[in-house]
Amino acid sequence: MLRKLAVVQLLCIVAVAAVWFLAKTQALLATPPPPHSDLHAHEWGFQLVVFAVFWLPIAMVGATALVGVEYFVLRTYQAWRTQRFKSE
């Protein structure tokens, strides 16, 4: 059960990151490129590579750390609760 919830949480993070990427990139590409800049950086392909190489892994590492903390806290709480009910 906990693994299914963790997978759902990670998929939600990927979905939110993808929507964020689309909105950010669309807004960036709607403006003209600044003078004296790299024109290849003002394309969808370049933005997708930057997202896939930098931003998506950062989001996944952060989400995985959050899931790990949630798992540790829940496991500790369940052990404490089980021990408390056994002693009563």
Structural domain boundaries of the chain?
2-32+41-87
Q: In which residue are the tokens 């600044």 written?
A: 34
What's the CA gap between 27 and 57, in Å, rounded? 22
Q: What is the pTM of this model?
A: 0.71
What confidence tens digit (pLDDT) does each residue in 42-56 have? 899 999 999 999 999
pLDDT top residue among 83 and 21: 21
Q: What percent of the chain has pLDDT over 90?
A: 39
Q: In which residue are the tokens 């759902």 written?
A: 8
Tokens of 31: 């403006």
